[in-house]
Amino acid sequence: MTKRCSTCGKFAKEFAEFPCPECGKQLVRCYHCREIRNKYSCECGFEGP
C-alpha cells in the first residue's frame, strides 16, 4: 500500500502519517522527506519541521 506524500507529492511505501496540529487533517510524509527533514505544509497554511 502506498500513499502520496503531502510534502513532495510522490507515492511512498514507507511513510509517517499524522494529523496537522493546526486543522487536524491527516498528513503523509514519506521516509525520504523525513530523512532530509523536508518541511511539510498543509493546505490550511501550516508549516512544520
Q: Does 23 bind Zn ion (CB under 5 A)?
A: yes
Q: Which of 8, 16, 41, 48 binds Zn ion (CB under 5 A)?
A: 8
Residues in contact with Zn ion, counted by CB under 5 A, come to a total of: 12
Q: Does 30 bind Zn ion (CB under 5 A)?
A: yes
Question: How would you write the chain as a 3-class SS string?
Answer: CCEECCCCCCEECCEEEEECCCCCCEEEEEHHHHHCCCCEECCCCCEEC
| Interface positions with Zn ion (CB under 5 A) | 5, 7-8, 20, 22-23, 25, 30, 33, 42, 44, 46
